[in-house]
Amino acid sequence: MAELIVMEKIDGNPVAWRCSDCRQKFSVRGKLTAQERYKLVTAEFKSHMEERHKVVREMAFAAGVPLPE
């Protein structure tokens, strides 16, 4: 199953990711909290998985990427 892979961090916080299957990029920038950024990118990735990969499953993040509290 495809995962979101962190590509770029600013001040230790992820701001850009890519799909592990097709390498499509996802970016959430601006003055957002880690929780807001996480919520936006997961929604975008869920839509991507349903449309591009025809998958309706729970998304996975790459191991070693801590989830925001």
Q: What is the pLDDT of residues 5-58, one digit of tens each?
A: 999 998 888 889 999 999 999 998 778 888 899 899 999 999 998 888 876 544
Can you give the chain as a three-state secondary structure string? CCEEEEEEEECCEEEEEEECCCCCEEECCCCCCHHHHHHHHHHHHHHHHHHHCCCCCCCEECCCCCCCC
Q: Which residue has the tokens 């309706």?
A: 56
Q: Which residue has the tokens 């003055």?
A: 31
For residues 4 and 60, give the distance between their C-alpha atoms in angstroms, rounded to a whole number.
7
**pTM over 0.95, yes/no:** no
